[in-house]
Structure 1
Amino acid sequence: MCAAMASEFSRPTKFPPGMFEAFQGAEDPAHLSRVAHDTAAALLSRVQADPDPEVVARLVAYTDEHGIDAIAELWSRASAKSLPGALWRVYLLRALIRQDPRSMSLAFQRGAEVSHTIDQVVAGAAIPAGPDEVVELADRILHGLFTGDFAVALERAAAFARVAAVGSASLADDADETDAVHPDRPAKLTTRAYRLTELADELTSCARLWRRDALD
């Protein structure tokens, strides 16, 4: 799922000097896994211990400058139920929202209308949630990973993904497969609904593990 979603957001990668030196000659999967876990743990503990607003702001906006590939190189191959896996998924969700805020806000808004859960409340999005509101929400959720309750931030991201998944599925039902301009729209919306649902489940599992002090 993550590799497929990441392909939607590919941009030229600009690595800061020395950031990925640990990967030289690091074909060993076990080594790559250890580097992913160590960097995620070190980053989170460092920022939570001293949440300098400027540092947090740079972390939130990191992929805006360097591209989602910069984060993918570091954490995307980690287990879905791990600390680097959790960080990767929240960055990926933010990238998805920022790439197409209009369609994501439309999916979230439709999901909030047709679903009968409290997920839209948990996510914390403004109602109605337009493009600007969902972009701002994505930033607040990622910000919360570093400065607030980590599990709550994961649960908010999961809730947003679930609502958007329900909305995407509903929009797919409405889409006209005979549309000559966008004949593949129903299939794309259905695929996105599936991937968002999977993403939500993974983030929820990570939140539970974090609360049990078992998210490594």
Structure 2
Amino acid sequence: MLDPRDADALPGDLDPALRGEVAHATARALVDRARSSEDPEVVERLVRLVETEGLDTVAALWADAAPATLPGALWRLYVLREWVRRDAQTVMLRYRLGVDAAPVQEAVAGVPNPPEPGDLRALADVVLSGVFTGDLAVALERAGAFCRILSTGAAFDADAREPADPTAATRLTRGASSLLRTGEELEQAAALWRQGQLE
């Protein structure tokens, strides 16, 4: 990876093409290194990458990557894991609101019902470690299904809040739309991985 101090020493912003090359190279190196290693500590360090390196560092590498790319998919997984880690209570409530309306997604996501915050944190870690040790497409599909359930829950929450707080309801509706889009993007990335086209 490009060391953050080295990146800061570069004059001006990175050229967008170079930024894209760095994003793809680092994502591929990360996944390849983990898949070729038999050391569980390597996978554990990669799952906890945001905790050790910071979300800003990971964002600098991958946040601008297109969704249907390996760095774009990794970015979405790390952001999802970080949200679950930081606000498991809200995520749990949204999951509980949405799960009954999305039984197929519940089966794919693989979360116990009813979930507890610890269950959701464990799922986020399992999905992310699955990127490095298991079938990447399955990990992406599980994350996509999880996002769809959260999207449904956020939409139900928005409907319930509309009479008392229309501003919050609008914000939740936008969040639900964003979660649905993220779920679709992760599912598209899974399909591309299966076709050998996720770059």
Normalising by structure 1, we get a TM-score of 0.85
Alignment of 1:192 onto 2:175: yes
1:95-114 map, 5 Å: 95-114=82-101
Offset at 1:185?
A: 2.5
1:1-216 map, 5 Å: 18=3, 21=6, 24-25=10-11, 27-115=14-102, 117-178=103-164, 184-216=167-199
Q: How many residues align?
A: 197
SS at match of 1:125: coil
**Distance (Å, rounded) in 2 between the aligned partners of 1:90 and 1:200:** 10
Offset at 1:58?
A: 1.1
Deviates more, 1:163-172 or 1:22-31: 22-31
**Distance (Å, rounded) in 1 between the aligned partners of 2:19 and 2:30:** 16
Deviates more, 1:204-213 or 1:124-133: 124-133
Deviates more, 1:90-99 or 1:137-146: 90-99
Aligned partner of 2:198: which letter? L
Offset at 1:65?
A: 2.9
Residues 81 and 206 in structure 1, CA contact (< 8 A), matched pair in contact too: yes
Aligned partner of 1:203: which letter? L
Say if 1:214 and 1:121 are closer, same or farther in 2 by CA, change over 3 A: same
**Distance (Å, rounded) in 2 between the aligned partners of 1:97 and 1:185:** 20
Offset at 1:178?
A: 2.5
Q: Which runs of 5+ in 1 are unaligned?
A: 1-15
**Distance (Å, rounded) in 1 between the aligned partners of 2:182 and 2:159:** 21
Deviates more, 1:154-163 or 1:53-62: 53-62
Offset at 1:177?
A: 3.9
Give me the CA root mean square deviation: 1.9
Larger helix proportion of the pair:
2
Say if 1:176 and 1:18 are closer, same or farther in 2 by CA, change over 3 A: closer
SS at match of 1:114: coil
Aligned partner of 2:21: which letter? R
**Distance (Å, rounded) in 2 between the aligned partners of 1:17 and 1:207:** 27
Residues 143 and 183 in structure 2, CA contact (< 8 A), matched pair in contact too: yes
